[in-house]
Amino acid sequence: MTMYFTRWFFGLLLLLSLASVRAQENLTAYWQPQVAVNYKVSGSYSHNFSLANRNYIFDDEVATLRVRQLDLAHFSNLKIQGNQSVALGIQYRFRNTFEDRENELRLTQQYNITHKPLAIRYGHRFRAEQRITNSLTIHRFRYRFAVDFPLQGEKLDPGEPYFVGSLESLLSVAKQNVPEYDTRLSGQIGWELNGGLKFQMGVEYRIEDFTASQPQNVLFLLTSAQFSL
């Protein structure tokens, strides 16, 4: 069942990606590597630090490779029950160094709940964000449904692959601006290695401002390394 679900999910991602490629005038593609460190302070309280780099690989109908931004983020996470948690996050986006755009400070409030009736774990994540620049503050509200499960057997053992998939909806509002609606679909394959190291790679497809007359198609190639201390 899990392998069937994985093939179905990646098949849907592929179809959406092909559809976006056919409309190249509205397509932007990025490669986004990320490194993250998880640090457990106690049984219920932990920190997460991450550094992500976003690079253009297709822009304005031309293949390219140039840096768009650098994101430095921190989250403090508190478990309030065995399957529920709340978190506060702060992120700074360095963009003016690479493009003629403003840097951004982002504040995040998060609630997360998971269920694992069998081998598949389901998760619901709710986020409120304040994206602050010198000229504008955007309030964004996000809901993400995610699944993850091992691809071999019922239990994840070191060195074995696992799948992570998610579907997310976003609403962005700002003073004197029209509300913007986005949606995101992603799928990644990961491996949990010895020493608290995880490596993931996959794709994400976004439709940005999909109620507009010409919504933007965005494709991400994702790679990440996660260390748990």
For residue range 107-165, what is the model confidence (pLDDT) as tens digits? 999 999 999 988 899 999 999 999 999 999 999 999 999 999 998 877 777 788 899 99
Residues 166 and 182: their CA atoms lie apart, in Å, by 14
Characterize the bridge pairing of strands 197-208 and 216-228: antiparallel
Within 8 A by CB and 6+ apart from 176, the residues are none
- CB count within 10 Å of CB 11 equals 11
**151-166 pLDDT tens trace:** 887 777 778 889 999 9
Q: Counting Cβ atoms within 10 Å, is residue 5 exposed (0-12), middle (13-18) or buried (19+)?
A: middle
What pTM, to 2 d.p., does this model score? 0.90
Q: What's the Cα-to-Cα distance from 82 to each of 78, 115, 116, 123, rounded to whole Å?
A: 11, 10, 11, 13
The CATH number of the domain holding residue 66 is 2.40.160.40
Range of the domain at 63: 2-228
Cα distance between residue 223 and residue 34, in whole Å: 6
Within 10 Å of residue 205's Cβ, how many Cβ atoms? Answer: 21
Question: How many separate domains does the chain show?
Answer: 1
* The two structure tokens encoding residue 122: 């389901």
Q: Would you tell me how many other CB atoms lie within 10 Å of the CB of residue 150? A: 18
Give the confidence band of 30 by pLDDT, cuts at 50, 70, 90. Answer: very high
